[in-house]
Amino acid sequence: MTPASVKKRACVIGWPIEHSRSPMIHGTWLKQYGIDGAYTREAVQPDDVMDFLAHLSRHGFVGCNVTVPHKEAAYKAADVKHDAARAVGAANTLWIEDGKLHATNTDTYGFMAYLKQKAPNWQQADPRVVVIGAGGAARAIIYGLINGGCDEVIVLNRTEARAEQVRAHFGEKIKLMSWSQCNDAMTGAGLVINATSVGMNSEDCPDVDLTRVDDACVVSDIVYTPLETAFLKAAHDRGLTTVDGLGMLLHQAVPGFEKWFGVRPTVTDDLYQAIADDVRRSQCSSSD
């Protein structure tokens, strides 16, 4: 068999891994583009992850996605760490190139691509930008915002020491405000992002006053279970443009698929609806 005819295989690794929607996303694209490839779920225990990644091609994979709790380990395991992964200190997309394991973090791309799709004019008025959170997802977003031309990003985080680490990493474009000042941070804001896990599988909501933001403010949430979080609902009720977490999830899958299978896939409305339906179904069954 010539190398060109070898069926390419990629996977997502995590522990646990059953919940991952990546096989559905990549499986849809493989079918849609008629590619003779495969994308599977691989349950890899924390003790085994370094060994698994060291032998990724021996396991038959050209690359993989990485989810909780292996993103930092994947970053460490990589021979070549791309800028987005360095900015976050964690990797979610790996591929083998010239015998070396490469790592990037496509959350940055996913967030920025979907923001541009849903709110193409968000940057026109040079808005006040506020990121709530200082974990891995927040770092990926902050990296995208700064690279995308934001001169200042206000960061709020419950644990202020973590926000200070973000400032130390990204430098003077980060302005820190304390958790108790969060409503002051909202005054006149033009882009507000919840990059915390608050609202995941709950009615909880970041405790900020959205009446203070600019009328043209765009409000985004990385949480997609539920699809419309309480935070996005509050923004919607206030008449603001909202950017949900599901679109970010779909767009972050694009660069990996292109690396592994050689086709740049499109995030279609049909794909969005199919994954949204799956999220709704799982929400219904978990509340049974």
Nearest-10 crossing angle of helices 107-118, 254-261: 120
49-108 positions binding ligand ATR, by CB under 6 A: none
Instruction: Report the C-alpha gap between 98 and 78 in whole angstroms.
Output: 13
Give the type of residue at 190.
Answer: G
Instruction: Report the C-alpha gap between 22 and 20 in whole angstroms.
Output: 6
105-164 positions binding ligand ATR, by CB under 6 A: 133-138, 157-159, 162
Question: For ligand ATR, which is the closer residue by CB, 106 or 123?
Answer: 106
Question: For ligand ATR, which is the closer residue by CB, 136 or 255?
Answer: 136
Q: Is 198 in the site for ligand ATR (CB under 6 A)?
A: yes
Question: For ligand ATR, which is the closer residue by CB, 107 or 217?
Answer: 107
The one segment of 7-15, 79-87, 192-200, 250-258 that binds ligand ATR by CB under 6 A: 192-200
Note whether 227 and 202 are within 8 A (CB): no
Q: How many CB atoms within 10 Å of residue 268?
A: 13
Question: For ligand ATR, which is the closer residue by CB, 197 or 241?
Answer: 197
Name the residue with tokens 């968000």: 122
- Is 8 one of the catalytic residues? no
**From the CB of 18, what's the least distance to ligand ATR, in Å?**
18
Q: Is 182 in the site for ligand ATR (CB under 6 A)?
A: no
Question: For ligand ATR, which is the closer residue by CB, 221 or 265?
Answer: 221
**From the CB of 133, what's the least distance to ligand ATR, in Å?**
4
**From the CB of 29, what's the least distance to ligand ATR, in Å?**
24
**From the CB of 90, what's the least distance to ligand ATR, in Å?**
7
Instruction: Report the C-alpha gap between 55 and 172 in whole angstroms.
Output: 40
**From the CB of 77, what's the least distance to ligand ATR, in Å?**
18
Note whether 37 and 7 are within 8 A (CB): yes
Burial 48-57 (b: 16+ CB within 10 A, else e): ebeebbeebe
Instruction: Report the C-alpha gap between 234 and 220 in whole angstroms.
Output: 11
Instruction: Report the C-alpha gap between 136 and 104 in whole angstroms.
Output: 13
Instruction: Report the C-alpha gap between 184 and 188 in whole angstroms.
Output: 9
**From the CB of 108, what's the least distance to ligand ATR, in Å?**
13
Candidates 40, 165, 183, 197; binder of ligand ATR (CB under 6 A) is 197
Instruction: Report the C-alpha gap between 130 and 97 in whole angstroms.
Output: 37
Catalytic hit among 7, 31, 71, 233: 71
Q: Is 196 in the site for ligand ATR (CB under 6 A)?
A: yes
Note whether 191 and 167 are within 8 A (CB): no
Give the type of residue at 209.
Answer: D
The one segment of 117-125, 180-188, 191-199, 272-280 that binds ligand ATR by CB under 6 A: 191-199
State which residue has the least CB distance to ligand ATR. Answer: 135
Instruction: Report the C-alpha gap between 183 and 203 in whole angstroms.
Output: 20
Question: For ligand ATR, which is the closer residue by CB, 206 or 265?
Answer: 206
Residues with catalytic function: 71
Which residues make up the interface to ligand ATR (CB under 6 A)?
Answer: 133-138, 157-159, 162, 196-198
